[in-house]
Amino acid sequence: MDVKIEQSWKKVLAEEFAKPYFEQIVLHLKTERAAGKVIYPPGRLIFNAFEHTTFDKLKVVILGQDPYHGPSQAHGLSFSVPDGIAIPPSLVNIFKELKNDIGMAIPKHGNLTAWASQGVLLLNAVLSVRANEPASHAKIGWMNFTDAVIQKISTEKKGIVFLLWGKFAQEKAHLIDITKHHILKAAHPSPFSADKGFFGCKHFSKTNTLLVEQGLDPINWIL
């Protein structure tokens, strides 16, 4: 199947695009659209995380669960929203931790594209959702695909820093070779759990320490 995705990822993931489950994902999306369902993000942005963070430049993975399901929120980057969209609560808490950790002023926008362009893969485990129906595409096959993405990163890269926030993300740890990579775990930044271990985790400064120790440029988290 000819999937429109950034070329370095297209090469790495070619065998996934040829598998029956991926064809079923495409068919499911086409069927829902034909039935008049609104799906987020728009088709051209489903693989946006891969467009901004090429396989060659990848340094960090921040794993989310599901795209935002409100109008104009989702643009293919986990936790991120486009310019001009209200900052969601979990991202507000991420910014609070950044202020506490590195002294970053709280941004007036929630667009994390600047992180992605520096090698931070903002990967949701599920890459699409029906409007106003959270987790509505959780069982259509996307997690087969994103699990394969994580495994490919684990196998073919080294020294990647994985930020796993919350139980769902941490359940992906078994896909990662900890003899080659770094895993930082904390509670999810949601208002329901941020005070249970996300606040104070200092994952952003810790990530940069791990990158610098490998001779890599740190991430400029300031937006």
Place 2 in a pLDDT band, splitting at 50, 70 and 90.
confident
Size of the chain in residues: 223
Edge-to-edge strand ranges of the sheet holding 120-124: 120-124, 60-64, 161-165, 182-186
Q: Mean pLDDT throughout 143-155?
A: 98
State the Cα angle at 146 between 141 and 149, rounded to 5°: 140
State the Cα angle at 74 between 69 and 75, rounded to 5°: 160
Residues annotated as part of the active site: 66
DSSP 74-85: --SSTT---TTS
Q: Mean pLDDT throughout 166-190?
A: 98
Element (H, E) at 164: strand 161-165
pLDDT at residue 1 tops 90:
no
Model confidence over 4-53: pLDDT tens digits?
999 999 999 999 999 999 999 999 999 999 999 999 999 999 999 999 99
Q: What is the pTM of this model?
A: 0.97
What is the torsion angle, in degrees rounded to the nearest 10, for the CA atoms of residue 119, residue 178, residue 11 and residue 140? -90
